[in-house]
């Protein structure tokens, strides 16, 4: 049963939330600065994401190409992430639910879509990486 597979977040809860927020902050900085090396570090090598249209994006390279094309269409926008929920599944695996909003680069007001991606993340040493999830 699922409830037997889910571990409660204990005393380390605060540090786990900090790690989740650090991952989202790295992802936000990478996207907004178009820093593709940092962007790649946010994901496992064999990451699998599904976009809004149901397209499967497999691996860092495919994800990078998709996002570059998306951002090329919206050069006046940046993304902002806010952590909504965190669930620990096992010692090194977590679910992160975040709010992802597009902001106008200059005025910082919301434009376009806001979404709530759900990411499966793995702990890799001191950093976390996204291994699966959904996105715009």
> Across 11-15, 23-27, 109-113, which has the greatest mean pLDDT?
23-27
pLDDT for position 13: 57
Q: Name the residue range of residue 104's domain.
A: 2-134
pLDDT for position 2: 39
pLDDT for position 1: 34
Label residue 113 by pLDDT band (50, 70, 90).
Answer: confident
Q: Domain total for the chain?
A: 1
- How large is the average pLDDT for residues 47-71? 94
pLDDT for position 125: 82
Burial of 20 (0-12, 13-18, 19+ CB in 10 A): buried
pTM of the entire predicted model = 0.85
* β strands within 2-126, DSSP E: 43-50, 56-58, 77-90, 93-104, 110-115, 118-124
pLDDT in tens, 19-34: 999 999 999 999 999 9
pLDDT for position 45: 95
DSSP letters spanning 87-119: EEEETTEEEEEEEEEEEETTT--EEEEEE--EE
Query: What CATH number corresponds to the domain at position 107?
Result: 3.10.450.50
Q: What is the spatial distance between Cα 25 and Cα 42, in angstroms, rounded to a whole number?
A: 10
């Amino acid at each position: 049963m699922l409830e037997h597979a889910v571990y409660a977040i204990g005393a380390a809860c605060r540090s786990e939330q900090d790690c989740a927020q650090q991952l989202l902050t790295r992802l936000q900085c990478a996207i907004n600065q178009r820093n593709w090396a940092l962007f790649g570090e946010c994901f496992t090598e064999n990451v699998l994401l599904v976009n809004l249209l149901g397209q499967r994006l497999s691996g860092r390279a495919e994800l990078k190409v998709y996002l570059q094309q998306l951002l090329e269409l919206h050069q006046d926008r940046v993304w902002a992430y806010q952590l909504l929920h965190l669930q620990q599944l096992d010692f090194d695996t977590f679910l992160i639910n975040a709010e992802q909003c597009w902001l106008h680069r200059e005025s910082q007001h919301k434009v376009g879509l806001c979404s709530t991606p759900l990411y499966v993340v793995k702990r890799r040493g001191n950093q976390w990486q996204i291994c699966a999830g959904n996105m715009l």
